[in-house]
Every structure is written in C-alpha cells, then in structure tokens.
Amino acid sequence: GDSVTQMEGPVTLSEEAFLTIICTYTATGYPSLFWYVQYPGEGLQLLLKATKADDKGSNKGFEATYRKETTSFHLEKGSVQVSDSAVYFCALSSNSGGSNYKLTFGKGTLLTVNP
Amino acid sequence: SAVISQKPSRDICQRGTSLTIQCQVDSQVTMMFWYRQQPGQSLTLIATANQGSEATYESGFVIDKFPISRPNLTFSTLTVSNMSPEDSSIYLCSVEDSPGMPFSFGEGSWLTVV
C-alpha cells in the first residue's frame, strides 16, 4: 500500500538557517504530493502541493519539488523564522485502483526555530 | 478551498460515555473524511463518508465504535462510543476541494477522556 516516510524530528534551528525536511514515498500510480503544517494549538493547513513529476510547489518561502525518479518531495526553506515553528506533515493522495482519493501521512516533523 | 467548521472544538469526556462530533462544510462535497491524530502522532484515516451510503472504514476501525452519519452534502457526524483514555485524540474532518486535489481540514476536535 501507499506510505510516506519523513525525516525524524525534532529539528531545532536558529533563525535565518536553511531548512530541509526529507520526505520519500511509496505509491502505486501517480500520486499528488502535499506538505501540511500544524501550528501549536491549531488545526492542519495545506502549505504546498505538487500534482505531477517535476512540479514545484511553493508558499510562504517554502518549496518542494516532486521527484519521481527518487520518489521524494523534500521541503526546503532558505531562511526560517521563529514563526515557522510547527509540525510539518508530508502526505500523498492516490487513487489506488478504487474510487476514493485518500491522504496518507508521514509521521510529522516538529520544527523549532530559536531567535 | 472549502471552509470546514467542527464542533466541539475541545471537550473533556468521562470514560464509558459517547460523544458526537459535527462537521459542517460551506459547500457541497461528495467525499468527507474523518481522521484521528493521537498525541504526538500522525493522522490516521478512520473512514470515508459518502452522502446517502454507509461509511467505509479503514482497517482497525469499526462502525460500532465510530458510527458516522452523512445526511446531506454539507454535513457529517462522527460519534466516538464508549470512550476510554486511549480515545484521547484530535479528530479531524476533511473534504476534497476537487477530485484528488488539495484536501481542506477542519480545526479539529480535541478530546480528552478521563
């Protein structure tokens, strides 16, 4: 079945540091890929998405490129801020032979950015 | 994207009781999904709810424990029955904004069972 493997956390960085969160996936067919973010005490929000190979999703300075050859969707940001402190979830959506598109999530990576 | 409202946002429940969570969407949607997020864990799909048909449950989840209603295209409920402390979780409602495309989530219902 489908699965998502995310870099283990927690990750602690200083403000303005470079961020990479590793995400790889296993899926049948051609999944869509997502990064969701969960800020402390809040619900889940879509951060960015990519629907086909070589697509780059971007939002709020974050980027991720859909790499079919390496089955990866790593999240990057060039300069993190304290306000980026949150849990980040990599996820995929695929119609694995059925009629429902379901989200499969990674375990999440807690990011803490210190001033 | 769809706007989703969940009630209650938080609750503290007694062991052995049941609680029904409501999910209201601001547009008509075909598929609605219910997820559970246990403390410090990722999200796990409980079931998929289509209007007018029985919900489809994922492995490890059963209708007797998590009955779901889907009376129309904008509303669904999830009941957590006979609760135990292990049911302490965030329960999230989700919808597809378009077939297979970004999913919107409610803010979640944070349940603590004591």
Percent of chain A with pLDDT over 70: 94
CB contact under 8 A, B105 and A100: no
- Do residues A90 and B85 lie in contact, with contact meaning Cβ atoms separated by under 8 Å? no
Q: Which residues of B touch A42 (CB under 8 A)?
A: 107
Residue A42 pLDDT: 83
Kindly indicate the confidence band of residue A99, based on its pLDDT and cuts at 50, 70 and 90.
very low
- Give the Å distances, CA to CA, from A63 to A10, A108, B74, B81: 20, 17, 33, 41
- Do residues A64 and A75 lie in contact, with contact meaning Cβ atoms separated by under 8 Å? yes
pLDDT for A97 beyond 90: no
Nearest chain B CA: its distance from A16 CA (Å) = 27
Where chain B has pLDDT below 50, the residues are none
Q: Which residues of B touch A93 (CB under 8 A)?
A: 100-101, 103
- Closest to A103 measured CA to CA, from B97, B80, B28, B12: B97
Residue B83 pLDDT: 97
Using one digit for the tens of pLDDT, what is the confidence trace for A62-75? Answer: 999 999 999 999 99
A40: contact with B, CB 8 A cutoff? no
- Among left, alpha and beta (phi > 0; psi -120 to 50; other), residue A34 is beta
Q: Mean pLDDT of all residues in chain A?
A: 91
- Could you write out the DSSP letters of every residue in B65-90? TS-EEEEETTEEEEEE-S--GGG-EE
Question: Of A51, A95, A105, which has the smallest distance from its Cβ to B42's Cβ?
Answer: A105
Task: List B residues 67-86 in contact with A (Cβ-Cβ < 8 A).
Answer: none
CA distance A40 to A21: 18
CA distance A62 to A77: 5
Q: For residue B76, what is the DSSP state?
A: E
- Closest to A86 measured CA to CA, from A13, A3, A4, A5: A13
How many angstroms from the chain centroid is the CA of residue A35? 3
Question: Of A51, A101, A107, which has the smallest distance from its Cβ to B96's Cβ?
Answer: A101
- Closest to A17 measured CA to CA, from A80, A85, A109: A80
Residue scoring higher pLDDT (A8 or A47): A47
Question: Of A45, A89, A102, which has the smallest distance from its Cβ to B42's Cβ?
Answer: A89
Q: Which residues of B touch A49 (CB under 8 A)?
A: 101-102
How many angstroms from the chain centroid is the CA of residue B59? 16
Kindly indicate the confidence band of residue A59, based on its pLDDT and cuts at 50, 70 and 90.
very high
- Residues contacting A41, CB < 8 A, separation 6+: none
Q: For residue B41, what is the DSSP state?
A: -
CB contact under 8 A, B105 and A45: yes
Q: Which residue has the tokens 């009955």?
A: B67
- Do residues A89 and A96 lie in contact, with contact meaning Cβ atoms separated by under 8 Å? no
